[in-house]
Structure 1
Amino acid sequence: MAASSRYKFKKANTFANTLFTVGLWTITTLVLILITGLLLYILFKGLPKITPGFLVGLPSEIEAGGGIGPFLFNSAYVLFISLAISIPVGVGSGVYLAEFAPDNRFTGWIRTCVENLASVPSIVFGLFGYVLFIDVFDIGLTILGAGVTLSLLNLPVITRVTEEAIQAVSPDLREASFALGATEFQTIAKVVIPAALNGIISGISLAACRAFGESALILMAGGTGTSGEMWDFNLLSQGGTLPVHLWYIQSEALVEDAKEIAEKASALLVLITLLITLAIRIPIWIKNRG
């Protein structure tokens, strides 16, 4: 009887495991199909209508046929500013927390704060940027304010991902490096960080794609408009970006082709996000294959 009961119990567990695995694969497949279908729908609906004039043309408030040139430029400019600030500070903070910070309550409190900041809604950072750059420094809605505020949004994500990626590196690599006579700095710079590079790059890619598609924060810190020039590098110009323009077109625009502009802008936004991911990941794939 005991053997028969064990056999039935094992058979029931095997069936349950199989059923659970099939259920997970089914749900995952359905989600992937849904996301892929949605992305393809957006791309195929908007991409064929995009022309070079649309990409570099100036937007129009009344007449049809306007472009998105200044907003597209601002999107790239604000993203560059945010990453130029958040990547060095975030990666450096992650390395310090993983390799140099003492294991005590204060360090644990810092890690908790970083994790909490990573989950704060972007509009809260936008309100902080609004208060800092408009109420305190009184410089208005600018590219500078949008870029710096966006870097604050990226910073906790990059810091936490970097720390976890470095902590996941095998201790054997560190011991082998020390055994060969390398210093602690040489070990971290030439052994630990290259070994953790895949995880670090994944975090940067996630932060960059999220930043490029951000709208609420930009709306609060950068505004809804631009200077009206295509290549305006003035940091104190208005910092409206492509996602903000898309929101404006969908909600308040008066032009008769607002729907078509929204479709093209949506497709372009999705395409650029995918290209950013590939541009960051492809060098790592090439390195791993080599």
Structure 2
Amino acid sequence: MNARSADRAATLMFWLGAAAVLAILALLLGYILWHGFRAISWDFLTAPPQTIMAGGGVGPQIFNSFYLLFLTMLITIPIGLLAGIYLAEYAGAGRLTEYIRLSMETLTSLPSIVVGLFGLLIFVNLTGWGYTLMSGALALAAINLPFIVRVSEETIRTVPVELREASLALGATRWETMWRVILPSAFPGIVTGTIIAAGRVFGEAAALLYTAGMSSPVLNFTDWNPLSPFSPINPFRPAETLAVHIWKVNSESLIPDVRQVADGSAAVLILVVLFFNILARWLGRYIHHRLTAT
């Protein structure tokens, strides 16, 4: 086989591999959405679930998922961004840096169920909080923190060194250079990574089984006291998320329309995760265009 034929054969194999991935993705999405759309309605999206009778919804589960996402990112983003800045700009070669990188790689490779068991021991039992939103948020923060740190570090490293040198040459301090020059340049990549991490949080279930719980109190949306057990903004109440609800419905639910509820819940979850990924790409391109005018 000559070089041209080998190049065409390799190109064909690459295209076939990409087409196979797209076909599998389209098949999975099509199957879930086809069955799920028939169950989705306004009542389904807003009504609470049922334990025995048919006709329940996933309203509290959707709210719990977004509230848990807010708490998780509130913990993860500041710590991850500061750690990424330290590793990219301030950390030199040494044992401390090696230990930090090793810790991040270890956390990245841990199964989420292991993090959930750790959260059960520390955030649920040791603190005495029980199954709460805060316990789940801390467990998910441990899962997502290595990803945010890596994204922040790699994005900051891609900023041209000439920008740093120009800022320092004009008399700016190292921190002023970081805050006013480097971070704005790295902002599109950081935002994209953060939104992708948010999508991962929304779809997580294994760690939340042991930390946030598999039930939720009847929420009173007129009660905004964060200490009330029935307040939707109370972070120390149990909360069943949408992903956990899908698992629970399929494994131990007694409702007669279990398949319809599971299909509708899965479709809603898929649509939200797709929205996060599409938003990440669009927002990254938009911010890059606004900052660079290209």
Q: Report the AA paired with residue 125 of structure 1.
A: V
Which shifted more, 93-102 or 106-115?
A: 106-115
Q: Say whether 1:146 aligns with 2:113.
A: no
Q: Say whether 1:288 aligns with 2:294.
A: no
Q: Report the AA paired with residue 222 of structure 1.
A: A
**Correspondence for 1:15 among 5, 11, 25:** 5
Quote the residue 1:275 is aligned against: 275
Which shifted more, 37-46 or 70-79?
A: 37-46
Q: Distance in 2 between matches of 1:132 and 1:222?
A: 13
CA contact (8 A) 2:84 2:153 kept: yes
Q: Say whether 1:69 aligns with 2:48.
A: no
Q: Distance in 2 between matches of 1:14 and 1:104?
A: 48
Which shifted more, 193-202 or 147-156?
A: 193-202
CA contact (8 A) 1:218 1:239 kept: no
Quote the residue 1:122 is aligned against: 112
**Correspondence for 2:147 among 142, 146, 157:** 157
Q: Distance in 2 between matches of 1:140 and 1:157?
A: 27
CA contact (8 A) 1:57 1:67 kept: yes
Pick the structure with more helix per residue.
1
Distance 1:251 1:165, change over 3 A: same
Gaps of 5+ in 2: 222-231
CA contact (8 A) 1:70 1:230 kept: no
The TM-score with structure 2 as length reference comes to: 0.89
Cα distance per residue 1:190-246 (max 9 Å; x no partner): 222222223322321222111110000000111111012264222221121001110
The TM-score with structure 1 as length reference comes to: 0.91
How many aligned positions are there?
280
Q: Secondary structure at the match of 1:49?
A: coil
Offset of 1:67 from its aligned partner?
A: 1.0
Q: Distance in 2 between matches of 1:15 and 1:189?
A: 52
Q: Secondary structure at the match of 2:31?
A: helix
Q: Distance in 1 between matches of 2:4 and 2:95?
A: 45
4+ long deviations beyond 6 Å: none
Cα distance per residue 1:54-82 (max 9 Å; x no partner): 11111111000011111111111111100
Calculate the aligned-residue CA RMSD, in Å.
1.7
Q: Secondary structure at the match of 2:240?
A: coil
**Correspondence for 1:60 among 50, 58, 63:** 50
Q: Report the AA paired with residue 34 of structure 2.
A: F
Cα distance per residue 1:164-188 (max 9 Å; x no partner): 1111222122122223333212221
**Correspondence for 1:136 among 126, 129, 136:** 126
Quote the residue 2:170 is aligned against: 180
Q: Say whether 1:40 aligns with 2:19.
A: no
Distance 1:30 1:282, change over 3 A: same
% identity of equivalent residues: 39
Distance 1:230 1:211, change over 3 A: farther
Q: Secondary structure at the match of 1:98?
A: helix
Offset of 1:32 from its aligned partner?
A: 1.3
Q: Which has the larger radius of gyration?
A: 1
Distance 1:107 1:289, change over 3 A: closer
